[in-house]
Amino acid sequence: MNALPEEFLFTLLEKNPIAEEFRRCHISLNQCGKGFSCSCPFHSETGKSCFIYPETHNFYCSSCHCGGDVITFLMLMQNFSYEEAIQFLAQRSQLSIPSASPENAFQIQQKRERCFQINKDTANFYYQNLITPSGQAGLNYFRKRKLLPQTIRKYGLGYAPDNWHSLHDYLSRKGYSDEEMILANVCRQGKNGQLYDNFRNRVIFPILDMQRHVIGFGGRVLDDSKPKYLNTSDTPVFDKGNHLFSLPFTENSSVFILAEGYMDVIALYQAGFHNAVATLGTAITPRQARLIAQYAEEVIISYDSDSAGQNAAQKAISHFQEVGLPARVLHMTNAKDPDEFIQNFGKEHFQNLLNHALSVTEFSLNRCQENLDLQTQNGKTTYLRRISLVLAGIGNQTEQDVFIQKKAKELDIRPEILRQAVERSANDQKKFQGKKFFQEIERRFSHISRSESKNTKSEELILAYLMRFPEIISTVMQILQPEQFTIEFHRKLYQLLCQILPDCTKFIPSLLGNSLSIEEMCRTTGIFFDYRDKLNQQALEDCIHNLYLFSAKPTIPEPSGISDNELLQRISNKKKNTHWI
């Protein structure tokens, strides 16, 4: 998307207040001066290090340094592209997006709309097939799973015929082109160039977004062929790592049940549990964990009881801990999944399971015995090490002491011995987590490194000053060249500011458009907010001189016959009544 006009972006941000967007995501805000504070939705914390500045339409977390405007927020929370975020906000505000590009936002939205339409017609095709002779196999499968007609209708379940071209022929008659079918991934192109149906001889589970648009499909085989499940690939409207099956059908509930598969969720819904969701054929992603946290205050993980299911539950726990969502784990015996349990024992017994779901600590401690022989010295030592690691992760001292007493008695050792082991594990974990944290920061921001050198700080302060006082850019451009910035990201940002600030009356990060990655946009916001109390004329002059002392150029050039002092004096004489915050 080309750079958008300043007037349009200001209007877009005015009509979509950043604080309201936070509230739409069920994030509680506290009044803090002229703005708000809250727990950051992008990292786990109990404090309130994220600040919202309504006057500048920005947010910034002083802990994880994530920040930006409402566009950036949507890109992070909803996994939108820059174009999709603009389109979403413009459509909600009833604004037309100005663009001179042939491939503009309107055309992008057109592709999305065609995907929605083709998916809707495809879902109807599969659903109608259930009541035809060719769909008998699919209907028999659902009957075998004891699904009622109203449940099948509720979820729009269907059947893809055992035919290579039936859907393609149907959609062609509806007026869709081959290119549109490929784009929506309902058909694929073979080596011979001909199209064939993506799903064949499978029962179909339509996947909906929160607006109840059909965005994709999951298909299950009726025999033992592989793969057992097949999902729609990424399309303009679908990314399986960013959505949850049945989320639009959940009713007001503070507790969600996270199941492993489509049938588990549907069986739970039919049994009266209208708060179940499932991932789409993969392990839960951090984005899906954040999505659940937007709607629930607690989640009960109800994965299969086999080893793979329990390993997946352990991974899910870590994602929920990262977003600060309390989790419990269902302890299920005599059944491999919720569907089978309800079939065998009924919904009342399943409700009892939910009521007695294990805490994360109990679940993790139970798993410590896996594959160990506690009758051997090696088994006991390994078990002690495992439970020490689990107990070291308990933040509440009282709860930790209770479990230490309980496990010490079980191991027939003095509590002091176990407590010492827990303390050693806690110290080891701190070292490991610290190293892991800095490795992740280095990975994400390797191309925008922030060393603590005096020169780097000088570059950041100059950039922050320009963003707050854009009217001095023409003067600074005569003094500083991009190559004098030693940090690659700073050089890139300076070049962008030199392009947009000469025609800018007031700077906002959105003016940079999609020229920056999401990490770079966060860093740009951070530079400004980190230096907002350090911007003064003398500091700017000192920083410019510092760059020259560090660079190969010994003196400031004299463009157009202007001396060093005259250039700096021009900066000093600029009015300072233009404020970004």
- Compute the distance between CA of residue 160 and CA of residue 205 in angstroms, rounded to an integer: 10
If you average pLDDT over residues 389-396, what whole number do you get? 80
If you average pLDDT over residues 5-19, what whole number do you get? 89
3-class secondary structure, 568:
helix
Domain borders along the chain are: 6-93, 105-238, 247-355, 368-444, 448-573
pLDDT of the residue at 342: 93
pLDDT(438) > 70: no
515-529 CB burial, b ≥16 within 10 A, e <16: bbebbbbbbbbbbbb
In CATH, the number for domain 105-238 is: 3.90.980.10
pLDDT in tens, 289-322: 888 988 898 999 999 878 788 888 888 998 888 7
Tokens (6 digits) for 119: 């998916």
In CATH, the number for domain 6-93 is: 3.90.580.10
pLDDT(437) > 60: no
pLDDT in tens, 517-546: 878 888 888 887 887 777 888 888 888 888
pLDDT band at 210 (very low <50, low <70, confident <90, very high): confident
If you average pLDDT over residues 186-204, what whole number do you get? 94
Type of residue found at 431: K
**HSE of 523, CA atoms in CB hemisphere, 13 A:** 21
pLDDT of the residue at 153: 95
pLDDT in tens, 221-277: 998 888 899 999 989 899 888 899 999 999 878 899 999 999 999 999 999 999 999
Taking the CA atoms of the chain, what radius of gyration do you get in angstroms? 29
pLDDT in tens, 343-386: 999 999 999 999 999 988 888 888 888 778 877 888 878 888 88
Q: Could you tell me which of 373, 249, 250, 367 has the C-alpha nearest to residue 309?
A: 367
CA angle 541, 515, 484 (to 5 degrees): 30
pLDDT(420) > 80: yes
Q: Where are the alpha helices (DSSP H) in 360-414?
A: 360-367, 377-392, 397-411
* C-alpha torsion sign, points 72, 73, 74, 77: positive
Rounded to the nearest angstrom, the gap between the alpha carbon of residue 324 and the centroid of all alpha carbons in its chain is 14
Question: CATH classification of 247-355 is 3.30.930.10, yes or no?
Answer: no
51 sits in which H/E element: strand 50-53
**HSE of 510, CA atoms in CB hemisphere, 13 A:** 29
* C-alpha torsion sign, points 451, 453, 456, 460: positive
If you average pLDDT over residues 56-70, what whole number do you get? 87
Helix 70-77, helix 82-93: angle, nearest 10: 120
Which of 138-152, 390-404, 414-428 has the highest average model confidence (pLDDT)? Answer: 138-152
pLDDT of the residue at 431: 60
If you average pLDDT over residues 419-448, what whole number do you get? 59
If you average pLDDT over residues 427-449, what whole number do you get? 50
Percent of the chain with pLDDT strictly greater than 90:
35
pLDDT of the residue at 99: 62
pLDDT(440) > 60: no
pLDDT of the residue at 204: 97
Instruction: Using CA atoms of 133, 136, 138, 144 in order, give the dihedral in degrees to the nearest 10.
Output: 170
Query: Bigger pLDDT: 447 or 324?
Result: 324
pLDDT of the residue at 127: 96
pLDDT(442) > 80: no
List Cβ neighbours of 192 (8 Å cut-off, separation of 6 or more).
Answer: none
List Cβ neighbours of 474 (8 Å cut-off, separation of 6 or more).
Answer: 502
- Compute the distance between CA of residue 158 and CA of residue 180 in angstroms, rounded to an integer: 22
pLDDT of the residue at 553: 44
pLDDT(574) > 60: no
If you average pLDDT over residues 39-64, what whole number do you get? 84
pLDDT(390) > 80: yes
pLDDT in tens, 110-154: 888 999 999 999 999 999 999 899 899 999 999 999 999 999 999
